[in-house]
Structure 1
Amino acid sequence: MLARLRSEHPTAAVRTGELLTNAGAEERIRLRHSLLPVLAEADLVCWDRERDLVSRGPEFDAALPFLDLIEERESDSTTRNLPA
């Protein structure tokens, strides 16, 4: 979810349903009742519950080093699995 927000314009808001496009009911419930409240409390995201929108929060940039690391590891994993 944070990676998706990172790929959007810094002031863009995304509908929560667009964050987990291939998610099942359990994942959507976990997003709304667990993940989003925690991320909003940490100011990593701004969550407008009434309009069902999520955007970058005031502390979003604090997550960027972790997102870079995840992206780097995913890239390394993909590269290692390519045929020579």
Structure 2
Amino acid sequence: MVRQSDRALVSWNRRALAVLRAVAAGRAEISLSCEPDLFIDGFPCCDQAVSRALAHEGLVRPARAGSIGQRVPARITRAGNDLIASPPAAA
């Protein structure tokens, strides 16, 4: 779960939705850690707060198990797909 202070920093804006679309397209990897990082097309996501919030809110998750610190394919969850399908009005 995202801490309240992080939630204030991260809204589901266009950047967050673009990251979700990249994950849905199979272009993302996620690091296996308590503070996961996303990598899009092999590059670190430019907004760590967004990538971590997406993971902590259950919108993206690892596609398979692995070792701590390892990068594995990321996959979008049903909740993530729902957000893409019906983005908030402020996005």
Structure with higher strand content: 2
Q: Give the TM-score taking structure 2 as reference length.
A: 0.41
Q: Which structure has the greater CA radius of gyration?
A: 1
Q: Which has the higher contact order (CA 8 A, sep 6+)?
A: 2
